[in-house]
Amino acid sequence: MLKKMAGLFTVIILLASMIPTTVLAGGAAHSFSFNYDDVQIYETNAYIHAKVSNPERLTVTTVGCNIWDANNNLLLNHIENCKRSESRFNMWYDFNEELNLTLTPGTVYQYQYFVKYDGTWYNGTVQSFTTNGTAPSVTETEDYIIADSDTRVVTEDELKCFTAEELRLARNEIYARYGRIFKSADLDNYFRSKNWYRPTVEADKFDESILNTIEKGNIKTIYDYEQTMKSQTTSASVSNTDEGMEEIYSLLVGTWVNDESPKSPDIIEIKRSGDGLVYSYYGIRPGNASGMGRNKTHTTWEYQDGKIRVNSDGTINCYCENNQEKVYERFSYSRSTGELTELDSNDTFHRDDNYVYPGK
């Protein structure tokens, strides 16, 4: 916030220098003014600067800024604590590094500085700038499920018009923008069909810290809504009657495979046991010439057995064999996709009763 960025920048000089803003606090008027300096602009980044005048030398306890897109959607409300009582101090923000926002080329953004004194907010005027470069074409925009999920907060209400599969694609296209390579064949095929996708980063080397705050929030929002949809889908098909339980049991019994990484799959085997179900959950990992694992070709690891309980809300709990009160994993089953989804990790398993480990 208080550092000055060095280097050569493309500069757009904005109006509204030294625009004072006065707010009444407890009947007493205190004056702060914000001198908005030049905005330093790139295609996907910008640096904003303001000098705050505090003639009464009041102790400011909080500073920050608001960022909006051209449609007045709030992208970020950035707040940080401080203790400043100088008559004049600087506020700097780097959108990429400090605000964790990646901007879109050729796009209008708005911003506003503010400070807090004695429990009252004092706001500067709203300013605007346009990033360099050319805005995405309509064709490019239409090639996304949610084209601006990297710069705008996505709400649950707008997700209601999407199918479960579209939500999965919308969530993963946030990663795809950064060139993440997908292990799941259907995701890999889907994104490779898009002109904007540049697969450059292996899944196990992808660093999620590159995501900005909005992207991380949108991923969680979409994921949470996916789980709500999946739970509702499963719950609607589960009945407490013997016939209802028999139906869901018949759908679950079998071998379930998550083979996004074919040589390192995870397996769930679900079987009948009396009036209920039991499971075995394990991973298979390749060996090597030195005999790593139980043999030279592969090993079974993290083997877990236990009982299964289908809950009234349609979710599926896998309990540990040695502690029947402890849940090992939780799943939902979707009739629409025919998949089991691990709720904590969002890994999906498809049924394959004839599965054979390809590394053998």
pLDDT in tens, 1-13: 443 333 333 333 3
| Threshold 0.75, pTM exceeds | no
**At 243, is the secondary structure helix, strand, or coil?**
helix
Query: Which domains can be identified in the chain, with CATH numbers?
Result: 10-130 (2.60.40.4070), 138-233 (1.20.58.1690), 239-351 (2.40.128)
Which has more confidence, 5 or 228?
A: 228
The predicted structure's pLDDT at residue 327? 85
Q: Give yes or no for residue 25 having a pLDDT over 50.
A: no
Tokens of 312: 């009234």
Rounded distance, CA 287 to CA 295, Å?
7
pLDDT value of residue 247: 74
What pLDDT is attached to residue 195? 84
- At 230 the pLDDT is 64
pLDDT for 203-212, tens place per residue?
A: 878 888 889 9
In this structure, the strands spanning 10-12 and 298-310 are unpaired
Predicted local distance difference test score (pLDDT) of residue 64: 94
Range from 76-80, 116-120, 303-307, 336-340 carrying the lowest mean pLDDT: 336-340
Per-residue pLDDT averaged across 305-323, rounded?
82
More confident residue, 269 or 18: 269
Q: To the nearest whole percent, how much of the chain has pLDDT over 90?
A: 32
Q: Which has the higher per-residue pLDDT, 150 or 138?
A: 150
pLDDT at 341 over 80: yes
Q: In the predicted model, what is the mean pLDDT of residues 51-78?
A: 90
pLDDT of residue 1: 44
pLDDT, position 280: 92
d(CA 257, CA 269): 9
